[in-house]
Amino acid sequence: MEDPDGEADPEGEPFSFTAAEADRGERLDKLLACGLDGLSRTRIRSLIDQGRVSSLGRTIADASLRVKPGQTFDVLVPEPEPALPVPQEIPLTVAYEDDDLLVIDKPAGMVVHPAAGNADGTLVNALLWHCGDRLSGIGGVRRPGIVHRLDKETSGLMVVAKNDLAHGGLAAQFANRSLSRTYHAVVAGVPSPARGEITGDIGRSPSDRKKMAVVAGGKPALTRYRVLKAFGTWASLVECTLATGRTHQIRVHMTHVGHPLIGDRVYGVRKNGIRGASKGIGPGAASARARGLPEPARDAVVALGRQALHAVALRFNHPRDARPMQFESELPLDIQRLIGSLESI
């Protein structure tokens, strides 16, 4: 399933092991099983088959590889599956609902479904309370009704399927790209030209498996954009339309062309930052990242606390009778405040 701006699947914590002189010529699977507590040789082979073992950023596919002294291997062990989600009375902003589907305006800070580190308090927990057993089962018991996802810190419109007919019909529209998703983002700098397309295959970053990146051999991705408003040369409000739906696509593509999203803690670090900024434009090393911005924009960037990305429009045909459906969502207050501060520069 394509997953516009969705969360990357949890990767767990990486383990590293460096071969010593005494390990020369040892099989990789045997060496790692002996060197990493709690992992059997069978488990190591499984992790290798899943592409979770690498060396110097290159995935290792051969469990029988004979190691050399000094070689360092990184092993990503996935987090254990969370418990089955339970209904929780969590308020939802419902833009539309009928017997087949509902459209949700998801707030920033809400995870879509339970995963490692987020066992509850998710959109799925809220949907189970709101809909009971009236949710599609195609996504499995941990993701009932979920046809697509948004990042935890991305706000905006999502469509949820109440039954398998709706799920199948919506998934087909995602697959044939007839379902339209439009986002507004505040990015560093001003893209040039003011309207265009960003291409670049997206896959796991070879240097950080918890991140996505434009990489050779990744999945084809296409983002169309247009600049809606420039705030001097500091930043701009950009409309992005997804022609494909890859994990973190907008964030990765905008960073790739030198205009990362303001507030993005993962991808928002660039060599030159917003003009005059030392490293990037998100929270964390907040004061350093906003350095160079005039007041009050600097404080607004620090206060944002998330990437400035909102799903503003969603268009699809109803899966039961094919009637056109169109929904729009206003920018949330935190992004409005950011824009207001940038307009004052």
Q: What is the mean pLDDT of residues 157-170?
A: 96
The answer to whether 144 touches 127, Cβ cutoff 8 Å, is yes
Give dist(CA 96, CA 98) in Å, integer.
7
Give dist(CA 214, CA 51) in Å, integer.
18
Higher pLDDT, 322 or 302: 322
Task: Determine the Cα angle at 84 with ends 80 and 87, to 5°.
Answer: 140
Give dist(CA 244, CA 165) in Å, integer.
23
Q: Is 291's pLDDT higher than 90? A: no
- 8-12, 181-185, 206-210, 306-310: least confidently modelled range: 8-12
Domains and CATH numbers, the chain: 14-76 (3.10.290.10), 82-176 (3.30.2350.10), 183-310+338-343 (3.30.2350.10)
Q: What is the mean pLDDT of residues 263-288?
A: 49
The three-class DSSP label of residue 235 is strand
Please state, for a pLDDT cut of 90, what percent of the chain lies above it: 61
Q: Is 271's pLDDT higher than 70? A: no
Higher pLDDT, 292 or 331: 331
Give dist(CA 205, CA 211) in Å, integer.
6
User: Confidence class of residue 282 from pLDDT cuts 50, 70 and 90?
Assistant: very low
- 144-158, 249-263, 291-305: least confidently modelled range: 291-305
Number of helices (H) and strands (E) in the chain: give both, helices first: 8, 15
Q: What is the mean pLDDT of residues 183-210?
A: 92
Residue 73 bridge partners (DSSP): 17
Higher pLDDT, 133 or 312: 312
User: Confidence class of residue 292 from pLDDT cuts 50, 70 and 90?
Assistant: low
Q: What is the pLDDT of residues 25-69, one digit of tens each?
A: 999 999 898 887 777 888 899 899 988 899 988 899 999 999 999
Q: Which residues contact 254 (CB under 8 A, 6 or more apart)?
A: 185, 187, 191, 198, 223, 225, 238, 240, 260, 261
What's the pLDDT score for residue 274? 44
Active site residue 98: no
Which pair of structure tokens corresponds to residue 282? 């998100």
What's the pLDDT score for residue 135? 93
* Torsional sign, CA 80, 84, 88, 92: positive
Return the number of other C-beta atoms located less than 10 Å from residue 210's C-beta: 14
Q: Is 269's pLDDT higher than 70? A: no
Q: Which residues contact 245 (CB under 8 A, 6 or more apart)?
A: 2, 3, 4, 5, 6, 148, 174, 181
Strands 58-59, 53-55: pairing is antiparallel
What's the pLDDT score for residue 270? 45
> One of 5, 29, 100, 151 is an active-site residue; which one?
151
Q: Is 113's pLDDT higher than 50? A: yes
- 4-18, 129-143, 214-228: least confidently modelled range: 4-18
